[in-house]
């Protein structure tokens, strides 16, 4: 239940930030302009996460060798985050492709505005969530 509330919070925050960016105007819609570079930025964050994960895994392995502790849950959580990050990248790639098709084919203002807001939401959520995962990883003692 807590996880569901957390994702509802992420969704709400993403919607608010998307609307703020959208209402700033087309020339100043930072999130929409940033969405053009979203995939390379997310891949860079995945590389950072992978590097940090490897450092932590090395330390966990040393800890396991010294104490015999069970590190299975930690390793499982690190792998789950990587899978989730790749799923977000794939989803974002598909959304950006669909948005580009809609922008080139549609002339309906509602569709164009809705698409921009949705792309803003996806952009904010993806970057925010990826940075949250890296931040969460850095809090491991």
Taking only the tens place, the pLDDT of each residue in 26-85 is: 888 999 999 989 999 999 999 988 988 898 889 889 988 889 888 888 888 888 888 999
Q: How confident is the model at residue 140 (pLDDT cuts 50, 70, 90)?
A: low
User: Which tokens sit at 25?
Assistant: 């105007």
Q: What is the tens place of the pLDDT at every residue in 69-108?
A: 888 888 888 888 889 999 999 999 999 999 989 888 888 8
Instruction: Classify residue 50 as exposed, middle or buried by CB count within 10 Å of its CB (0-12, 13-18, 19+).
Output: middle
pTM score: 0.84
Distances from the Cα of 12 to the Cα of 7, 9, 117, 122, 128, angstroms: 8, 5, 13, 12, 13
């Amino acid at each position: 239940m807590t996880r569901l509330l957390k994702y509802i919070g992420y969704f709400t925050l993403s919607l608010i930030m998307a609307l703020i960016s959208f209402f700033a105007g087309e020339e100043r819609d930072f999130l929409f302009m940033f969405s053009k570079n979203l995939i390379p930025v997310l891949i860079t964050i995945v590389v950072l996460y992978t590097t940090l994960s490897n450092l932590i895994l090395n330390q966990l392995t040393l800890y396991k060798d010294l104490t015999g502790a069970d590190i299975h849950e930690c390793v499982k959580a690190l792998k789950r985050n990587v899978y989730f990050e790749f799923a977000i990248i794939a989803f974002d790639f598909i959304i950006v492709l669909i948005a580009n098709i809609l922008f080139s084919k549609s002339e309906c203002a509602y569709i164009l505005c809705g698409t921009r807001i949705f792309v803003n939401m996806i952009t904010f959520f993806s970057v925010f969530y990826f940075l949250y995962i890296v931040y969460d990883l850095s809090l491991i003692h």
